[in-house]
Amino acid sequence: MSPTRAAARLPCVAVGLLLAWSLSAAVAQETLCSKPKTTPEALYQELAKDAKLREMRRSDIYVALEEGNDGILWTFTLPAHPAHPAAICRRVM
């Protein structure tokens, strides 16, 4: 392929990459570690019932749950925390 043909395709590639990035960002906003996005309280209630998760740590301001098989650590603020309600998901990549 000649350099001019390759240069002519560059804008198409850039648009394709931008579209893929924007779609992945939209999906990321709809989920949190592959869980449907909902309120932190509802997510905590759902996950706390799951027998596969174990409570790793609890304090006056947060609780941490671990999904051992998936390597996911969930952290939820409790009412005493200034950022409550909030949820954080950390996953080993």
pLDDT per residue over 5-23, tens digit each?
Answer: 555 555 555 444 444 444 4
Q: What mean pLDDT value characterizes the chain?
A: 79
Element (H or E) spanning 11, and its range? Answer: helix 3-30
> Domain-by-domain residue ranges, the chain?
1-32, 34-93
The Cα 24–Cα 19 span in angstroms is 9
- Residues with pLDDT less than 50, the chain: 14-28
DSSP 22-79: HHHHHHHHHEETTEEP--HHHHHHHHHT-TTEEEEEE-SSEEEEEETTTTEEEEEE-T
Which pLDDT value is given to residue 45? Answer: 94
pLDDT value of position 33: 87
Quote the pLDDT of residue 75: 97
Which residue, 80, 31, 87, 88, is CA-closest to 59? Answer: 80
